[in-house]
């Protein structure tokens, strides 16, 4: 090949690499600055937990009416532990939780769906990284436990659980 053709080919390759590099930088900038529009029926993928993160506990429940659902306690870091001794003071609030999300827009989507169905749904102030979406709150553990099976059937969500804060 002639020197001119080699020079032209090298120049064309350089130009293509530059264009591809610019496009990827522009998309990176756009994703950092733009807000993400999430359609009503979709959720943003939750980020994977890293070594320092602790995912919320998964509570296996039996749907039979004879078993009592465990009440989960949440510390200020968002970590959940089953309540071992049932204590109750006037400041305690018992929530029935429908979902727990690290991506706030996912919590908003579920909250809006529950409100549209007529529930007093709220997003709790996050402790740690989890945004808890509640269906209803109660002043006593007994009220929350009594309402849980009914809400599971009405909402068609078997993963509802009780949170004490």
pLDDT in tens, the chain (165 residues): 566 766 666 656 665 565 555 544 443 433 333 333 334 555 666 665 544 444 444 444 444 444 577 888 888 788 888 887 777 676 789 999 999 999 999 999 999 999 999 999 999 999 899 999 999 999 999 999 999 999 999 988 789 999 998
DSSP-assigned letter for residue 87: -
* CA 113 centroid distance within chain: 15
Cα–Cα distance measured from residue 147 to residue 149, given in angstroms and rounded to the nearest whole number: 6
Q: Model-level pTM?
A: 0.57
Write a three-state SS string for 137-149: EECCHHHHHHHHH
């Amino acid at each position: 090949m002639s020197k001119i053709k080699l020079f032209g080919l090298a120049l064309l390759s350089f130009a293509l690499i530059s264009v591809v590099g610019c496009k990827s930088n522009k998309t990176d900038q756009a994703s950092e600055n733009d807000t993400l529009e999430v359609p009503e029926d979709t959720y943003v993928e939750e980020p994977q937990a890293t070594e320092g993160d602790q995912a919320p506990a998964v509570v296996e429940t039996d749907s039979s009416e004879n078993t009592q659902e465990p009440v989960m306690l949440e510390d200020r870091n968002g970590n959940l532990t089953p309540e071992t001794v049932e204590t109750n003071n006037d400041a305690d609030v018992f929530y029935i939780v429908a979902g727990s999300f690290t991506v706030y827009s996912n919590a908003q989507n579920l909250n809006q769906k529950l409100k549209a169905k007529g529930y007093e749904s709220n997003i709790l102030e996050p402790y740690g990284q989890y945004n808890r979406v509640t269906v209803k709150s109660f002043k006593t553990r007994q009220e929350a436990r009594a309402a849980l099976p009914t809400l599971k059937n009405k909402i068609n969500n078997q993963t509802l659980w009780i949170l004490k804060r």
